[in-house]
Copies of this chain bind each other. A is one copy, B any other.
Amino acid sequence: MTFPVVGMVGGGQLARMTHEAGIPLGIRFKLLSDTPQDSAAQVVGDVVVGDYRDLDTLRAFARGCDVITFDHEHVPTEHLRALEADGIPVRPGPEALVHAQDKGVMRARLDAIGVPCPRHRIVTDPADVAAFAAEGDGFPVVLKTVRGGYDGKGVWVVDSAEEAAEPFRAGVPVLAEEKVDFVRELAANVVRSPHGQAVAYPVVESQQVNGVCDTVIAPAPGLDADLALRAEEMALNIAKELGVVGHLAVELFQTRDGRILVNELAMRPHNSGHWTMDGAITSQFANHVRAVLDLPLGDPRPRAPWTVMVNVLGGDYPDMYSAYLHCMARDPQLKIHMYGKDVKPGRKVGHVNTYGDDLDDVLERARHAAGYLRGTITE
């Protein structure tokens, strides 16, 4: 047998769902997980428990893998370079991944290749934040530590220089950005393989609640076809220019005046692509696996007119399994995806997908199920 071994660093739900998508391909899947209880570690056969920040651990794990890929973007760039020097393909590679790890590097590179972004620059202290505000339309200003933020963490919206002290306390460079007057958030998901084949999923609308993705609608309702095409082309261009291999999510602002600006990049399967598991011919996870193995990519087109994903966040109600009875009986077409994670308030512990011809119906079904699982809907 010559089936390859894919080494996945990180044991979260993205690794779990990538494993699920890899099973039909007959590939071997090897996991480096922080603990044996991590989401993916519960369901993968070949698990190494260890710390990805330790180069020796990473090197030992990578031995016997045909390619290394990631559940998250936290592996130090120098470690990835060391693996590459050892002859292990790392996908996406460190030169691409740094753009998803460091928002300062990302903004500089997008500027260089002419991709529209919110007005931005690195700021040094609260007084510099005030100067940045004065250079544009004033406060509010968005501040982000260039490394380590996600799901609203590491991001502050400040109304004055006085409020701007906190972001600088970590000692990490801070990026200031204009607060974009957006009508909604979109995401353009693309997948690219080492020899340069790429596919684009339809552009989706992503609705955030408290900085965390809540609902994704595929395709984005009412999106102008030209704008959709422009967003797909932009994402494909970023993937090509940055040398991305695997899945790239480009989070976008759609502005009131009809522009699209890049908010964030993620180089791995992404929450805005979870709808593809039940809504697309080939899921983002299956295509990520195909890309990192340099296999021809699968068809990214949708299977239904509308697909909706709603995240299931932890609430006050820990027993989500008993909620299955209601949810499954109410909607026999419902797709539940739970991650095997303990319920903690606000934690992403799963998502649901629904699809169909009528967007209102599809939305209602997904929201009801997610709310019932969380415990915010009880009837």
Residue A1 interfacial (CB < 8 Å): yes
Contacting pair B332 A299 (CB below 8 A) = yes
Residue of B nearest to A23 (CB): B20
What number of copies of this chain does the assembly contain? 2
State A339–B41 Cα separation when bound (angstroms).
Answer: 21
State A16–B339 Cα separation when bound (angstroms).
Answer: 19
Residue of B nearest to A286 (CB): B335
Contacting pair A298 B333 (CB below 8 A) = yes
Known contacts: A42-B28, A328-B295. The answer to whether A321 contacts B4 by CB under 8 A is yes
- Contact partners of A281 in chain B: CB under 8 A: 332-333
Contacting pair A295 B24 (CB below 8 A) = no
Residue of B nearest to A318 (CB): B1
- The interface residues of chain A, by DSSP majority, are classed as loop
Which residues between 314 and 356 of chain A lie within 8 Å of chain B, taking CB atoms? 318-322, 324-325, 328-329, 332-340, 342-343, 350
Residue A67 interfacial (CB < 8 Å): no
Residue from the list B24, B44, B319, B321 in contact with A336, Cβ < 8 A? B24
Known contacts: A319-B2, A332-B296. The answer to whether A44 contacts B45 by CB under 8 A is yes
State A19–B22 Cα separation when bound (angstroms).
Answer: 12
State A25–B328 Cα separation when bound (angstroms).
Answer: 11
Which residues between 1 and 59 of chain A lie within 8 Å of chain B, taking CB atoms? 1-4, 16-17, 19-20, 23-26, 28-29, 41-45, 47
State A298–B321 Cα separation when bound (angstroms).
Answer: 16
- Contact partners of A2 in chain B: CB under 8 A: 319, 321-322
- Contact partners of A4 in chain B: CB under 8 A: 321
Residue from the list B277, B298, B342 in contact with A332, Cβ < 8 A? B298
- Contact partners of A42 in chain B: CB under 8 A: 28, 45
Residue A303 interfacial (CB < 8 Å): yes
Query: A3-B340, A24-B335 provided; 7 other pairs, C-beta below 8 A?
Result: A19-B43, A24-B337, A26-B340, A28-B340, A45-B47, A296-B328, A297-B332
A interface residues with partner B (beta carbon < 8 Å): 1-4, 16-17, 19-20, 23-26, 28-29, 41-45, 47, 277, 281-282, 290, 295-299, 303, 318-322, 324-325, 328-329, 332-340, 342-343, 350
- 30 sample A-B contacts, Cβ–Cβ < 8 Å, listed by A number: A1-B318, A1-B321, A1-B342, A2-B319, A2-B321, A3-B321, A17-B23, A19-B23, A20-B23, A20-B24, A25-B338, A26-B336, A26-B339, A26-B350, A28-B340, A41-B45, A42-B45, A44-B45, A45-B47, A281-B333, A282-B332, A290-B328, A295-B325, A295-B328, A296-B324, A296-B328, A298-B333, A298-B334, A299-B332, A299-B333
